[in-house]
Amino acid sequence: MAAQETVLQIDLNALAHNYNYLRSLLKTETKLLAVVKAFGYGSDSVEIAKFLETLGVDYFAVAYTNEGVALRNAGIETPILVLHPQAVNFKTIIDRCLEPSLYSARILNRFIDAAAQQNQKNYPVHIKFNTGLNRLGFWENDVDYIIDRLKKAPELQVKSVFSHLAASEDENEQEFTLGQITSFKKIANEIAEKLGYQPMMHQLNSSGLLNYPDAQFDMVRCGIALYGYGNDPKYTGKLKPVASLRSVISQIHMIEPGETVGYNRAYVSKGYEKTATIPIGHADGISRSFGNERGFVMINKKKAPIIGNVCMDMIMVNITNIDCREGDEVVLFDENYTAEDMAPLANTISYELLTAVSQRVKRTFLR
């Protein structure tokens, strides 16, 4: 149905298509971890996770503890990896059966203490190594220290050893990426040998799976590809965008030559023109960067440039050459004009557009 208000439509059929396509690329024994952080890349983490659970997903990952708690509160039982936990939340992590990434000596020692206080035994944790992204993670020369601490901590059991690729979508960085993969193999094998048991290994993100399928190890972590974007036209064409951002025309104005539109009179009419006001603005995720005719929306399959400055709750567009009426649907992005198409107009990427969609925007689901 056409939108009758500002709404983010989430197509769970598209999500299933993407999940099944990614599964088809995996070896039989390789697990699939779905990244549902940032409200499911701006959609709805709970509904996304519930649906993926019915499809048989093996793991979830979130960035922060409260995101994992929200999934548990919604009844999600699948294991959840917390990628960037903070020590203040360790009791909550244990209480809600979340699995932390331990990425530094401080975090490792604080979690050992928390697990001991909670009388835990073999609590599942994931050890993160930095192989070149230089964001989070232990270094290769920390292995002996980690092993020493773990051997004295029966409270913990290493569920996985993992790392993160820095440029898996960039063909010009293949040598660097292959170096990361080689380094990770060496670290993970050393950890397993010294622990005396074999944790899972995982390093590939969405682009890693698509471009380096031989490095699947035991599990892959898929984020943006699940939501329909492959960071490469040849892969994006095989995926379906899950989210469509739509709105409506609230009011149409006829303006004369020299009249101005919006704050600071940023747009000056060049002649007799027709404008439409749409109930979506920078508080809803439409950056001010799209203003002053840099961005546009689609109305009846035609481009309507955004004129003047983007307001907090509204944008105005030029519809002089478009046959439309008040109440007609407006498309910000969808499966045809995608977030990946829209992003370069604001010098950004699809990830930012998707995750910027405000939580005040109504979500609807196509099942």
> What pTM did the predictor assign?
0.96
DSSP assignment string, 126-189: EEEB-SSS-SS-B-GGGHHHHHHHHHT-TTEEEEEEE---S-TT-GGGHHHHHHHHHHHHHHHH
Give me the catalytic one of 37, 128, 159, 240: 37
Provide the token pair at 115. Answer: 């697990």
- The CA–CA distances, whole Å, from 234 to 17, 166, 257, 352 equal 16, 21, 46, 21
Give the three-state DSSP class for 242. Answer: coil
What pLDDT score does 13 carry?
A: 98
Low-confidence ranges of the chain (pLDDT < 70): none
Give me the catalytic one of 91, 145, 263, 362: 263
- Domain 12-229: give its CATH code: 3.20.20.10
| Domain locations along the chain | 12-229, 243-366
37 is an active site residue: yes
351 is an active site residue: no
pLDDT in tens, 51-79: 999 999 999 999 999 999 999 999 999 99
Which CATH number, 2.30.110.20, 2.40.37.10, 3.40.50.620, 3.40.50.2300, labels domain 243-366? 2.40.37.10
What pLDDT score does 1 carry?
A: 78
- Do domains 12-229 and 243-366 share one topology? The answer is no
